C-alpha cells in the first residue's frame, strides 16, 4: 500500500513539474509575441516603423518594458510584461518604456552617440552605487581605487 502511494506521489510530482515547465515555455513565447506587439506600436507612434523589422520590434518592446519597469512602474505601481503581467495597464507601461527608448535613440541617431550616452549612464550608475563605504564588494573596492575618483 505504501509503495502505491509513493508511486502516485512521484507521478503527480512529475506531472506538476512538466506543467510548470510548459507554463514557463508558454510565458516565454507570449513574452516574445507581446514584446513584438509593444515594439511595433511604439515604432508606429514614434514614426520609426520604416527602419526596423520584426526582430527590432521585439527587442524594442522587451527592452522598453524593462525601461518602463524601471522608471514608470514606481510611479504608477504597475508591473510590466517582463513580470508576466499582460493586463492593459502593464501593456501601457511597457509601451511607455518603449516610447522612451525610441525617443532617446531618435535623439542620438548614430550608434556612436547612443553608445556614448549609455556608457556615461552606466559609469554614473556604477559611481553612485559603489561610492558608499557600505559596499564592500571586490568590484566596488576596485572602482574606488581609481585615482581620479579619490
- Model-level pTM? 0.62
**28 close to 22: Cβ distance less than 8 angstroms:** no
The 10s digit of each residue's pLDDT in 6-56 is 666 666 666 666 666 677 778 888 888 998 999 999 999 988 888 788 888
Q: What is the DSSP letter of 87?
A: S
Average pLDDT of span 63-75: 86
The 10s digit of each residue's pLDDT in 109-141 is 766 666 777 777 777 777 777 766 566 777 677
Tell me what pLDDT residue 107 has.
Answer: 77
Tell me what pLDDT residue 123 has.
Answer: 76
Tell me what pLDDT residue 20 has.
Answer: 66
Transcribe 123-149 into DSSP letters.
HHHHHHHH-STT---HHHHHHHT-GGG
Amino acid at each position: 500500500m505504501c509503495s502505491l502511494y509513493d508511486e502516485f506521489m512521484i507521478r503527480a510530482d512529475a506531472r506538476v513539474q512538466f506543467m510548470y515547465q510548459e507554463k514557463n515555455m508558454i510565458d516565454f513565447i507570449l513574452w516574445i509575441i507581446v514584446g513584438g506587439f509593444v515594439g511595433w506600436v511604439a515604432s508606429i507612434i514614434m514614426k520609426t516603423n520604416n527602419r526596423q523589422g520584426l526582430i527590432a520590434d521585439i527587442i524594442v518592446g522587451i527592452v522598453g518594458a524593462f525601461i518602463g519597469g524601471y522608471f514608470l512602474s514606481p510611479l504608477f505601481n504597475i508591473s510590466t510584461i517582463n513580470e508576466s503581467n499582460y493586463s492593459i495597464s502593464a501593456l501601457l507601461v511597457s509601451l511607455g518604456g518603449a516610447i522612451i527608448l525610441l525617443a532617446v535613440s531618435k535623439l542620438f541617431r548614430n550608434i556612436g552617440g547612443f553608445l556614448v550616452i549609455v556608457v556615461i549612464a552606466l559609469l554614473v550608475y556604477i559611481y553612485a552605487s559603489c561610492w558608499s563605504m557600505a559596499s564592500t564588494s571586490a568590484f566596488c573596492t576596485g572602482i574606488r581605487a581609481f585615482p581620479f575618483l579619490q
